[in-house]
Amino acid sequence: MEIGAQLRFQFFFFLLLKVGAFLKSPKFPIWILGSETHLSVFFTKEMALVAPESPSEQARRVFQTFDPEDNGFIPDTLLEDVMKALDLVSEPDYVNLMKSKLDPEGLGIILLGQFLQEFFPHQDSVIPDSFPVYHYNGLKQSNHNEKVSYVEGTALVMGFEDPMVRTDDTPVKRCLQTKWPYIELLWTTERSPSLN
């Protein structure tokens, strides 16, 4: 295999890897966003975003590992595995009781919202619903009027059950959705910031 083809394969393989939750949770709220050509910076002053996970946030993360397509539910056959992963009581009789309680219609699915409400009631996320954000891209051609500066905006982080605000679908947003699946970005400029 020629070197160019090998590098393209390695780069393509790298794109398929999903960054783990711990790499997405730095000590300070500064994230490096990668594109095909270079890196840009996304940051905020909201320190709550890098606070340790609450038990309900951990439960949401673990549940979502069993829901890789982010449907907001898992098959009821995976409930025992989720409960074990969270160190919850996972005796077969108790799991069957929870299945019938969380899926009273017998549809064969367990909804994330009901799971969290049952096992982690009254535990709100420490992440605020909205917070100011900034994006910096150092390439002149990627900035408005080719003037390099940061772009200011507001991030809205909602749960899967919340109605969506639906902003544009940009590479910046898609990148951030790997950490916050239900994030929406409202920028103060007419043009959304670019990763390229």
pLDDT in tens, 115-153: 999 998 876 666 788 999 999 998 888 887 888 888 999
- Clarify whether residues 74 and 47 are in a common domain: no
pTM of the predicted model as reported, rounded to 2 decimal places: 0.62
Q: Are 108 and 76 in contact (CB under 8 A)?
A: yes
* CA 19 to chain centroid: 11
Average pLDDT (61-82) is 91
Taking alpha carbons only, the member of 135, 129, 144, 145 closest to residue 172 is 135
- Structural domain includes residue 195: no
Q: Say if 25 falls within a structural domain.
A: yes
User: Which amino acid does the sequence have at 139?
Assistant: L
What is the pLDDT at residue 109? 95
The residue length of the chain stands at 196
pLDDT band at 84 (very low <50, low <70, confident <90, very high): very high
Confidence (pLDDT) at 81: 96
Mean per-residue pLDDT of the chain: 81
Which pLDDT does position 68 carry in this prediction? 85
Give yes or no for a contact between 39 and 32, defined as CB atoms under 8 angstroms apart: yes
* 72 DSSP 8-state letter: S
Does residue 36 sit in the same domain as residue 16?
Answer: yes
- Between helix 92-102 and helix 112-119 the angle, nearest 10°, is 120
Which range, 5-19, 155-169, 181-195, is most confident? 181-195
- The confidence score (pLDDT) of residue 95 equals 95
The residue among 120, 135, 156 that closes a domain is: 120
State which of 63, 89, 120 marks the end of a domain. Answer: 120
Of 101, 120, 139, at which residue does a domain stop?
Answer: 120
Residue 78 lies in a domain: yes
* Residues 84, 47 within the same domain: no
- Rounded to an integer, what distance in angstroms lies between the CA atom of residue 178 and that of residue 115? 22
- At residue 91, does pLDDT exceed 70? yes
The verdict on 31 and 62 lying in the same domain is no
Q: Are residues 66 and 41 located together in one domain of the fold?
A: no
pLDDT of residue 115: 95
**Per-residue pLDDT reduced to its tens digit, 93-120:** 999 999 999 999 999 999 998 999 999 8
Residue entry with tokens 């799971």: 115
> Is 196 among the domain residues?
no
**Within-domain flag for 192:** no
**Could you report the per-residue pLDDT of 52-67, keeping only the tens digit for each?**
778 888 898 899 899 9
Residue of higher predicted confidence among 47 and 37: 47
Please report, for the domain that includes residue 109, its CATH number: 1.10.238.10
User: How sure is the predictor about 34, in pLDDT bands with cuts at 50, 70 and 90?
Assistant: confident
Kindly state whether residues 75 and 108 are assigned to the same domain.
yes
Flag whether pLDDT at 159 surpasses 70: no
Number of domains in the chain: 2
Residue 174 belongs to domain spanning:
10-51+126-187
